Homo-oligomer: A and B are copies of this chain.
Amino acid sequence: MKTSAGNFLEDFHIGQTLVHATPRTLTHGDVALYQALYGSRFALQSADTFAQGMGLKKSPLDDLLVFHTVFGKTVPDISLNAVANLGYAEGRFQKLIYPGATLTARSEVIGIKENSNKQTGVVYVRTHGLDEHEKQVLSYVRWVMVRKRDAASVITTNQVPKLAEALAAEDLILADEINYDTLFDPKLSGSHHYWDDYAEGEKIDHVDGITVEEAEHMMATRLYQNTARVHFNQFTEGKGRFGRRLIYGGHVISLARALSFNGLANAVQVVAINGGRHVNPLFAGDTVFAWSEVVAKAPAPGRKDCGALRLRLVATKNLPCGEFPDRNGKGEYPENVILDFDYWALLPRRR
């Protein structure tokens, strides 16, 4: 059999290492497409001059473009037979990446648990993104529900890893070469609100909405070489669960992050992904809105020029966020909420 059918639950074992195919060199071309697809305006990634004002030689790639590229590589091996992408944890960006870098990805299986229906199970992997010098760029844990090849096969492993609810601020990795101090220009960044100006518990409605088209999410997902079939094939999906192509969850994260500029313009770096849940599906034609909550606020480890905000980024479809739609008392999400994403961002501090 020359074609790959992906891995089933039986194919995974604890400690297994998967080297994922198709390394990818990211360039200014990818940067421009990312711009056209999401409309981001964070100054650090938008202008070499602004990055130079922060001590860098040029603009680094958007952190989420790096994330999606690494994620995409894992799909053929991890989630081609996935029923659902259940969550992320312990995601940490370890190195700024510039156009011209080549990314590869490896994953280690850290948990396996069969479901009681014996049809499916959950696989936990820790994925590492590496650059062309084999330097760590990003690592994160992901767990997915995958099908068994054969319901009759016996799964003896039953191991669920303990995962941090969130990274501690002191465990964030900050690039030495970046400087939020003297030359961070709030006129050019689009906001005069510094880290100091945000309060724990504060909620921000990002106001704007953006409607998604089929061509856009498919172009994005192909850019990431993510091959999950549910995103591309109307012939098959038209007969499936939703009758439609499902939009890659990462596309929602990037849309919501771009919307969050309006209120968080100075949160120019994503340094950690504490967790993320795609709580309802998004389809073409839907309009995405977003709001954020400041979950925690901490100094950045070893730094006085910047501080860290732990943010919840909640995205909705077809529902403006002026009233901050959220889980109810039972922890249930309204059907218009599509994303609950928990991350750490860096912002400049007042001098």
Contact = CB atoms under 8 A, between A and B. Distances in A.
B25 A47 contact: yes
A234 B287 contact: yes
Interface in A1-43: 2-4, 19, 21-25, 27-33, 35-39, 41-43
Interface in A177-217: 187-191, 193, 197-198, 204-211, 213-216
A245 interface: yes
B29 A43 contact: no
Contacts of A48: 25, 100, 102, 132
A279 interface: no
Contacts of A223: 32, 35-36
Interface stretch (A117-125, A168-176, A257-265, A270-278): A257-265
A94 interface: no
A127 interface: no
Contacts of A3: 204-207, 262-263
**A contacts with B: majority SS:** mixed
B232 A209 contact: yes
A58 B132 CA distance: 13
A227 B40 CA distance: 10
Contacts of A37: 219, 222
A278 B175 CA distance: 47
A229 interface: yes
- Give the interface size class of chain A: 35 or more
A102 B76 CA distance: 35
Interface in A225-248: 225, 227, 229, 232-236, 245
Nearest to A53: B23
A236 to B, nearest CB: 6
B27 A43 contact: no
Contact of A46 (B25, B39, B264): B25
A74 interface: no
A50 interface: yes
A186 B14 CA distance: 24
A222 to B, nearest CB: 3
A252 interface: no
A220 B22 contact: no
Contacts of A50: 23
Nearest to A59: B25
A321 B16 CA distance: 33
B33 A47 contact: no
B76 A190 contact: yes
Nearest to A131: B49
B215 A234 contact: no
A50 to B, nearest CB: 6
A29 B22 CA distance: 19
